[in-house]
Amino acid sequence: MTETVVMDRASASRRRYFPSAFGGLTFAGFAICLTALPLAVSLTGYQLNLLMQAATYAIAVFGLVVVLGYAGQINLAQAAFFGLGAYCVALGTTDFGLGFWLSLLLAVCVAAFAGAVLGLASLRLGGHYLAMVTISFQTILSLTLNNWISLTHGPDGVRGIQRPAILNDSRYFLAFCLAVLFTAGFGVYRLKRRRLGRAMQAVRDNEIAAAVSGIDTFATKVFAFTLSAALGGLGGGLFAGGFTYISPDQFTFAESVVFLTMALLGGVTSAFGAAFGTGLLILLPEWLRFLKVVYLAVYGAAVVLIMVFLPDGLWGIVTWAKRRLISEPPVDRQSIAPLPLTRQAACSAGQALLEVKSLSKHFGGLKAVDEVNLSVRQNSVHALIGPNGSGKTTMLNVLSGLYRPMGGSIVFDGGTITNAPPHTRTRLGIARTFQNIRLFPAMSVLDNVMVGAEQSGDLFSSARAVRNHAFSALEFVGLAERAYRDIGSLSYGHQRLVEIARALAGNPKLILFDEPGAGLNHGEKDRLVELLKQLKDRGLTVLIIDHDMAMVEQVAERITVLNFGRHIADGASRDVLRNPDVIAAYLGEVRSDAA
Amino acid sequence: MALQLLFTGLGVGSIYALVALGFVLIFRATNAVNFAQGDFAMLGAFAMVVLAVDLELPYGLSIALALIAVMLFGALFNLTVYYPLRHRGLLPVIISTIGASILMQNGMLAAYGPQPQTLPGILSTPGIMVGSVFLDSQYLIILCITALLVVLQYFFFEYTLLGKKMQATSQDKEMASLLGIPVAWMIMLTFIYSAFLGGLAGILVGPILFVSVGMGSAISLKAFAATIVGGFGNVIGAIVGGLTLGIVETFGAAYISVPYKDAFAFLVLLIFLMIKPEGIFGEKIAEKA
Amino acid sequence: MLLELDSVTAAYGRVLALKGLSLTVNDGEIVTLLGANGAGKSTVLRTISGLMTPQSGQVRWAGASIGGMKPGVIAGLSIAHVPERRRIFPGLTVRENILLGGSNLKGVSRAELEADVEKNFAIFPEIKPFENALGWTLSGGQQQMVAVARGLMARPKLLLLDEPSLGLAPLIVQQVYRVISGIREQGTTVLLVEQNAQMALSVADRGYVLETGTIVAEGLPSQLLDTDEIRAAYLGGRAKPN
């Protein structure tokens, strides 16, 4: 079977972590041939320029693949980073006499720095806020390039940009650009299948789930943004060297739109697609350039049309075909090792693993959680029950770090975590599932669980070890055979199990289950009860919220009852369930007499 | 001097506020941000140039026809740029409206050419002196009309059933359709009215600035900045934000630097985004995890 | 026969949710649809209310075919759908939410609508104190009341209720079900989807049991409750706690 090097999540997770020898060699061969092309074939100056533009633009577009395609964050200032890089090289080699290589390094660093600052300042917001920040930055930069004449030469631009001596011949410079292109492209392609790439995609698909899976979502987004800016700066620096003259009007918002269009047309989640889109939009419609005004109008229309009709870009057609034609590989269940749940709590069984004191969380005037105490013993199954609106889910959100408490303290295994962010808690050993299942829909089942495994703070010796661990977790919940499936093709009950597998893959000490039985049928609930009992047998501690009293009775040793945000009872299951206050407030009549 | 600048700033700010109102409307009804909002202003201004200057129609008639033209365009815009993408989430819509903006500007450039045009003001009297301050008549009209529209729009959303239906549509389209609210019409009305607001802003500001294809962009971004400063999605916030930005920009240009005038709006925006992203009046509806 | 589904097939993308399903609802009845999660119960309601289009088969309302019509049109036929998980408009007040329930009514003045709102507050007195509270601040039980009140505003001939007990405490569930059984007296027919079969069968006249998109059992509540296998597999709650 030929393994073509194509971006597709099913095949991606099926592939080993080093591209197959055949695919890798094919790519390397192709890259070397194309890089040598300018030297071997004689090209006109015009053709050289065209290829130069395509190559440098594609590098910048790779940046968009990372920040927008992988991490899902919008960046409308790629032309600004491109321009920063270009001006660094331009001014560096002319006014400041730094030489090309140093200037190029400066280009990447300055662009990256700008990206980092911008990202740090604005990535806590998202969506249109981020769009506005990037446009603002773009606008301010354009204004500065045009008006700070003493530094940038203003609208006249910078001439006579120096190339390094060995690359002075345009053909050699182009070959160099192509070499950088292939290297950068390969890097971006590989990134998708690595831990960081998966983390970015998780943030894109479901940021809250990513946070509780152990991903520092803010840091991930900032990194993606910085990398994107750096690639933009790299492309810009090479652009300046290639054309030896630059001016501010090459780096305006319109150019950012052009970059965006190239990424979208090709397929923004794919390095290959993006390069393809760039090439297509530069090399093919060259004749449009003679009609300068229409050229831009066509770009505008193209953006709209692509968004409407081709959301995955042209490369999406390739991946769609691939998914149709190539089936998933079989899973060898015999070779899966049993799931090691190895993290030892510092405290011993019977002591409190999780100690919550006087915890409060208010929303405006609503006291969702009001001075609640909760003590969960190591290696126990503890239930948190209460009527709807009693504050159970809010409590769980505070415990997992999604909400900040207004008062009180949370101590986990001897350490205070009251204000710790979600990913820190996960790495300390707390995992959780959600009432409304939160999975990463664009990744396969296996990828979802791998995220849980590799972000938990456990160190794995290799990528293969992560994968095996994920398989173990899937086998534990009984879904190993479906490892390569899309999330969308699983039933609700199975999706619930994938979420549990993801939580288990992180090797937690404590798992918080938020209504795990919701939406499950009877048989599925039985299985869940079995699973919970198995977890306890393995030494885990469980805190569960649910409404199904029969199920709670079966698994929980201790129960805490909330009502209107306050705890009204706490103790051994049988005692709590007989407590008249509890019965009065919540249980009512177990058998229905509604009419 | 300061009072004069204040008056001018309020005038400029009113234009931003008008366009910002259009933003907020579309956002409240569709949860989409229309980056081409300012280009409706550009279209309105150009329509006036064609009608009142080229065809020499009476001014009042020109205004009416120009507004109708822009409203029709707003309907077309909805059908081609937003509606097909309405289920796809934030990013595709943002990108699509940006594409549409580029298309509109360059389309107009191809149709009319790059020369900036001039538009005569509504009143023939240039203005009145009040104390040491010269109140330009066009600015006065801008302020009055903006104030009127603000009040009307507020009442519309807070007290009319249609306003509530539009809000319901923005909060949960599917549920709104289940209740029998004609969701597609709500959205269409929103775009038409927002286009009206944008076109009106262009008609009002045309006589003050030159009418050029790029005029919409600058207004767009600043109006959007205004909504963030005021509190995104908030009607009063859009007004206050617009006025604030207009004042900051005018004072900045006078006291600090003219070439960087446009940068001030963005600097204010960046500061707000970093320090108080919910804006002056922002309300946040909590996302329950 | 008020509502009839005749061999209806419906799918989410490639996944078939309903496979040739047939059922009827007669005027004035409370009929319940039971079954496990994923059996297709909600899909039945969505197909009736127009959120989904049947791939094949007929959905007939008072004899006329309505399959494939838009939700707005179907709401105009006096069919009200109270969906799963309430879906109260979070940024509108309780009063406004309920008021909008009458959006399908033609030729009704605002004053009449407001009067209807008061009537609904009389049915659900527990939510009257919250009439100016924003939807997102309410608890699940309060939201359920508002959702049903909003559904009743439409003066429906057929009320489609999707899992009204989901996520609610037993006491609240009983309150809601008390209202449901009283709805019949207003001349409204009810099609009730539930996982908790005990509750549902306690108010229903007839029931259907669904499994992966087809009907596997139907009959009177007593008939459905008495079958061991059905009780074990589909009827929620265990026979005896351990």
CA distance A461 to chain B (A): 34
Residues of A in contact with B98 (CB under 8 A): 76, 257, 260, 303
Share of chain A above pLDDT 70, in %: 90
A3 confidence band (pLDDT: 50, 70, 90): very low
CATH 3.40.50.300 boundaries in chain A:
352-587
CA distance C7 to chain B (A): 24
> Looking at the partner chain, which of B96, B110, B274 has a beta carbon nearest the beta carbon of A304?
B96
> Which chain B residue's Cα is nearest to C152?
B179
Whether C140 is in a domain gets the answer no
pLDDT single digits (tens) C144-192: 889 999 999 999 999 999 988 876 777 778 888 888 888 877 788 999 9
CB-based burial label for C50 (10 Å; 0-12, 13-18, 19+): buried
Whether C126 is in a domain gets the answer no
Residues ≥6 apart with Cβ < 8 Å to B287: none
Give the total number of structural domains in chain C.
1
Number of alpha carbons in the 13 Å side-chain half-sphere of residue A71:
31
Q: Do C37 and A493 touch (CB under 8 A)?
A: yes
Query: CATH class for domain A352-587?
Result: alpha beta
CB-based burial label for A404 (10 Å; 0-12, 13-18, 19+): exposed
Residues of B in contact with A132 (CB under 8 A): 221, 224-225, 228, 269, 273
Q: Do B273 and A301 touch (CB under 8 A)?
A: no
Q: What is the pLDDT of residue C226?
A: 65
Q: Which amino acid is at C25?
A: V
Q: Do B99 and A402 touch (CB under 8 A)?
A: no
Residues of C in contact with B285 (CB under 8 A): 90-91, 134, 136
CATH number, position C165: 3.40.50.300
- Nearest 5°: the CA angle A183, A185, A186 is 65
Its pTM stands at 0.79
* Residue A357 vs residues A370, A583, B21, C82, C175: alpha-carbon distances, Å: 11, 25, 47, 40, 34
pLDDT single digits (tens) A508-523: 999 999 988 876 767 7
C241 confidence band (pLDDT: 50, 70, 90): very low
Whether C150 is in a domain gets the answer no
Residues of A in contact with B259 (CB under 8 A): 143, 146-147
Q: How far apart, in whole angstroms, are the C-alpha atoms of residue A296 and residue C19?
A: 51
Q: Do B179 and C136 touch (CB under 8 A)?
A: no
For residue B259 the two structure tokens come to 């070439």
Structural domain harbouring C43:
3-84+156-234
Q: How far apart, in whole angstroms, are the C-alpha atoms of residue C81 and residue B174?
A: 11
> Which chain A residue's Cα is nearest to B259?
A147
A386 CA to centre of own chain: 35
Whether the CB-CB separation of C39 and C194 falls below 8 Å is answered with no
pLDDT single digits (tens) B97-115: 888 888 898 888 888 888 8
CA distance A205 to chain B (A): 12
Tell me whether B178 touches chain C (CB under 8 Å): yes
Residue C228, pLDDT above cutoff 80:
no
pLDDT single digits (tens) B114-161: 888 888 887 777 788 877 778 888 888 888 988 888 888 778 888 899
Q: Which amino acid is at A465?
A: A
> Looking at the partner chain, which of C36, C202, C238 has a beta carbon nearest the beta carbon of A521?
C36
Instruction: Report domain extents, chain B.
Output: 14-213
Q: How far apart, in whole angstroms, are the C-alpha atoms of residue A161 and residue B136?
A: 50
> Looking at the partner chain, which of B165, B183, B286 has a beta carbon nearest the beta carbon of C100?
B165
Q: What is the pLDDT of residue A365?
A: 64
CA distance C91 to chain B (A): 7
* Residue A408 vs residues A225, A392, A512, A542: alpha-carbon distances, Å: 36, 16, 19, 22
Residues ≥6 apart with Cβ < 8 Å to A324: none
Q: Do B171 and C150 touch (CB under 8 A)?
A: no
Q: Do A296 and B102 touch (CB under 8 A)?
A: yes
Q: What is the pLDDT of residue B68?
A: 96
CA distance B86 to chain C (A): 16
**A399-417 average pLDDT score:** 92
> Looking at the partner chain, which of B92, B228, B260 has a beta carbon nearest the beta carbon of A307?
B92
pLDDT single digits (tens) A218-265: 999 999 999 999 999 999 999 999 998 999 999 988 788 889 888 888
Q: Do B161 and C99 touch (CB under 8 A)?
A: yes
Between B250 and A388, whose confidence is greater? B250
- Return left, alpha or beta for A386; rule: phi > 0 is left, psi -120 to 50 is alpha, else beta: left
> Looking at the partner chain, which of A74, A132, A139 has a beta carbon nearest the beta carbon of B228?
A132
> Looking at the partner chain, which of C38, C138, C241 has a beta carbon nearest the beta carbon of A491?
C38
Residues ≥6 apart with Cβ < 8 Å to B122: B59, B137, B138, B141, B204, B207
**A22-45 average pLDDT score:** 76
**Pairs of CB atoms within 8 A across A/C:** 97
Chains that touch B (3 or more CB pairs under 8 A): A, C
CB-based burial label for A292 (10 Å; 0-12, 13-18, 19+): exposed
Closest CA to C188 of C155, C213, C215, C157: C157
Residues of C in contact with A524 (CB under 8 A): 36-37
Q: Do A125 and B277 touch (CB under 8 A)?
A: yes
Q: How far apart, in whole angstroms, are the C-alpha atoms of residue A353 and residue A183?
A: 49
Mutate to test the interface with C, among B167, B169, B178 (most CBs of C within 10 A): B178
Q: What is the pLDDT of residue A447?
A: 93
Whether the CB-CB separation of B17 and B149 falls below 8 Å is answered with no
Closest CA to B35 of B113, B117, B94, B90: B94
Mutate to test the interface with B, among A118, A135, A205, A397 (most CBs of B within 10 A): A135
A15 confidence band (pLDDT: 50, 70, 90): very low
Q: Do C203 and A594 touch (CB under 8 A)?
A: yes
CA distance B279 to chain A (A): 12
Whether C61 is in a domain gets the answer yes
| DSSP letter (8 states) at residue A328 | P
Q: Do C174 and A589 touch (CB under 8 A)?
A: yes
Q: What is the pLDDT of residue A112?
A: 97
**Mean pLDDT taken over chain C:** 84
Tell me whether A128 touches chain B (CB under 8 Å): yes
Q: How far apart, in whole angstroms, are the C-alpha atoms of residue A397 and residue A514?
A: 10
Q: How far apart, in whole angstroms, are the C-alpha atoms of residue A107 and residue A85?
A: 4
Q: How far apart, in whole angstroms, are the C-alpha atoms of residue A315 and residue B90?
A: 22
Q: How far apart, in whole angstroms, are the C-alpha atoms of residue A381 and residue A532?
A: 8
Residue C93, pLDDT above cutoff 60:
yes
Q: How far apart, in whole angstroms, are the C-alpha atoms of residue A166 and residue A139?
A: 37
Q: How far apart, in whole angstroms, are the C-alpha atoms of residue A403 and residue A395?
A: 9
CA distance B186 to chain C (A): 12
The full 3-state SS of B30-61, as one line of letters, equals: HCCCCCCHHHHHHHHHHHHHHHHHHCCCCHHH
Q: How far apart, in whole angstroms, are the C-alpha atoms of residue C113 and residue C34?
A: 34
> Which chain B residue's Cα is nearest to C49?
B178
Tell me whether B285 touches chain C (CB under 8 Å): yes
Tell me whether B24 touches chain C (CB under 8 Å): no
Q: How far apart, in whole angstroms, are the C-alpha atoms of residue C41 and residue A365?
A: 38
Closest CA to A373 of A400, A407, A339, A422: A407
Tell me whether A547 touches chain C (CB under 8 Å): yes
pLDDT single digits (tens) C47-58: 999 999 999 999
Q: Do C104 and B180 touch (CB under 8 A)?
A: yes
CA distance A3 to chain C (A): 28
How many helical (H) and strand (E) elements, i.e. helices and strands, does chain B have? 11, 2
Residues ≥6 apart with Cβ < 8 Å to B77: B36, B100, B191, B195
B40 CA to centre of own chain: 8
Which residue's entry shows tokens 């759908």? C81
Q: Where are the beta strands (DSSP E) in A247-327?
A: none
Between B30 and B196, whose confidence is greater? B196
Q: Do A594 and C237 touch (CB under 8 A)?
A: no
Q: Which amino acid is at A563?
A: N
- With a threshold of 0.90, tell me whether the complex ipTM lies above it: no
Q: Do C89 and B168 touch (CB under 8 A)?
A: yes
Closest CA to A86 of A248, A256, A274: A248
Residues of C in contact with A587 (CB under 8 A): 170
> Looking at the partner chain, which of A68, A129, A300 has a beta carbon nearest the beta carbon of B100?
A300
3-state secondary structure of A281: helix
Give the ranges where C124-194 is alpha helix by DSSP (H). 140-153, 170-183
Closest CA to C234 of A491, C242, C215: C215
Q: How far apart, in whole angstroms, are the C-alpha atoms of residue C176 and residue C183?
A: 11
Q: How far apart, in whole angstroms, are the C-alpha atoms of residue A185 and residue A65?
A: 10
Q: How far apart, in whole angstroms, are the C-alpha atoms of residue A449 and residue A485?
A: 12
Q: Which C residues in the span 88-107 are in contact with B, Cβ-Cβ below 8 Å?
A: 89-92, 96, 99-101, 103-105
Cross-strand pairs, C209: C34, C217
Whether the CB-CB separation of A43 and A221 falls below 8 Å is answered with no
> Looking at the partner chain, which of C75, C89, C96 has a beta carbon nearest the beta carbon of B180?
C75
> Which chain B residue's Cα is nearest to A123?
B274
Q: Do A518 and C166 touch (CB under 8 A)?
A: yes
Q: How far apart, in whole angstroms, are the C-alpha atoms of residue A297 and residue B99?
A: 9
